[in-house]
Amino acid sequence: MGSAEETAGGYRPWSEVTPDAARRLLVAAAVEAFAERGYHATTTRDIAGRAGMSPAALYIHYKTKEELLHRISRIGHDKALDILETAAAGPGTAADRLGAAVRSFVLWHAAHHTTARVVQYELDALAPEHRDEIVQLRRQSDAVVRRILGDGVAAGEFHVPDVPGTTLAVLSLCIDVARWFNAAGRRTPEEVGELYADLVLRMVGAAPAG
């Protein structure tokens, strides 16, 4: 994961990870290795080597490979929840807030696709207690989107007979961007965010603004 992905979309991840050596292990090594090879096929030696360290140096900062994955997953899910909660608390109609939520959520998954692939698709590799923690964060994200959809239905803005099912569809659509997005492709993360906001608003029966 290079510096362009680190700063795209107005977000610089991992600033909460200190010292620099611990951050380098996450940003330059573990994220890239897990995204490229998968968690189970990646060894601690692979991660240490990518960071220019010895395996012994890695253990100073992270006792296990799973601890690295948990740290990555927790930071990523905290950011995802913050993005959705910020949009849900914003001004405007339910359609405005849903559009903002999808736009910003998709932008993050596209701009930080390498990180997002690890965050979203390596859940089952976590230890049970860590998996339960992350599942709870996912439920909170689900609840935020469900609340926006419920507000839109109550206001007559959305035509959604199944709010829980539509919530799942919206989040799945957004998250999947991390799987296919190509930084060298013809669409920017911002353009993908706009496209998906338009698609989701049409999905729920709301006319997109403009």
One-character DSSP codes across 151-164: HHHHTTS---S-HH
Which residues of the chain are under the pLDDT cut of 70?
Answer: 1-28, 207-210
Which residues fall within 8 angstroms of residue 86, CB to CB, at 6 or more apart?
Answer: 104
What's the confidence (pLDDT) of residue 29?
A: 76
What's the confidence (pLDDT) of residue 60?
A: 79
**Token couple for 209:** 């603004």
Distances (CA, A) of 71 to 61, 81, 93, 162, 190: 11, 16, 36, 34, 27
* pLDDT tens by residue, 2-27: 333 444 444 455 555 555 666 666 66
Q: How many CB atoms neighbour CB 171 within 10 A?
A: 21
What's the confidence (pLDDT) of residue 59?
A: 82
**Residue 5 to residue 18: CA distance in whole angstroms:** 19
Q: How many CB atoms neighbour CB 29 within 10 A?
A: 23
* pLDDT tens by residue, 92-102: 999 999 999 99
**Residue 115 to residue 109: CA distance in whole angstroms:** 8
Half-sphere exposure (Cβ direction) of 16: Cα atoms closer than 13 Å: 9
Cβ atoms 69, 118 nearer than 8 A:
yes
What's the confidence (pLDDT) of residue 19?
A: 56
